[in-house]
């Protein structure tokens, strides 16, 4: 469990300092489906249509960030290589999402931190992702490098290839 400080600003300019507890845990693939559907893939045919190839693979793990005993952020990490990178042991971050009401509170950053720790423990050299253009700044803040190439994923939008090497993390 992690204690996270947070500032809450009232309309009159008053600042209230609070702390909240985050818990990051490995979760089952099906526990990612509600956020995958509501945040990432609302064009799909419902929550049950949100499984991904690789979800059940032995080298795949799924993380959930719990806030107030509910999953507020998710990410799935698969042992998968990209031809764009030369590192020998690569992992891919997919389907990362944070509920709209939980954004801006550090949940995604904490999920990335825990994912990197787990990837390192599995001998990984790099974590990469296909980042939506709207999320590029988030990943840059987390230390990811990005390629200049912008490409479109049908029904989803513009993306950039991003990665973070674990040697310096």
CA-atom Rg of the chain in angstroms? 16
Average pLDDT over the chain, rounded to an integer: 92
How far, in Å, CA of 96 to CA of 135, rounded?
10
Domain boundaries, the chain: 2-165
Question: 3 φ, ψ to 5°?
Answer: -95, 120
At 16, the pLDDT band (50, 70, 90 cuts) reads confident
Q: What is the pLDDT of residue 168?
A: 53
**Cα–chain center distance at 59:** 17
pTM: 0.86
| C-alpha pair distances (Å), 47 with each of 43, 50, 54 | 11, 6, 17
Which CATH code fits 2-165? 3.40.630.30
pLDDT band of 138, cuts 50, 70, 90: very high
Q: What's the farthest any 2 CA atoms get from each other in the chain?
A: 55
Q: Which residue has the higher pLDDT, 63 or 1?
A: 63
pLDDT at 84 over 90: yes
Q: Is the pLDDT of residue 155 over 90?
A: no
């Amino acid at each position: 469990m992690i204690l996270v400080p947070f500032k809450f600003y009232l309309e009159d300019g008053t600042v209230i300092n609070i702390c909240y507890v985050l818990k990051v845990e490995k979760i089952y693939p099906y526990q990612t489906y509600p956020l995958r559907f509501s945040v990432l893939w609302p064009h799909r045919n419902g929550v049950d249509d949100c499984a991904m190839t690789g979800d059940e693979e032995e080298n795949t793990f799924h993380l959930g960030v719990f806030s107030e005993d509910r999953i507020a952020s998710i990410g799935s990490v698969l042992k998968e290589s990209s031809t764009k990178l030369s590192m020998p042991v690569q992992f891919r971050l997919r389907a990362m999402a944070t509920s709209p009401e939980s954004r801006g509170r550090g949940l995604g950053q904490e999920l990335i931190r825990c994912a990197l720790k787990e990837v390192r423990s599995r001998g990984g050299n790099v974590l990469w992702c296909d980042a939506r253009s709207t999320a590029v700044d988030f990943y840059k803040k987390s230390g990811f490098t990005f390629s200049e190439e912008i490409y479109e994923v049908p029904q989803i939008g513009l993306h950039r290839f991003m990665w973070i090497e674990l040697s310096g993390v």
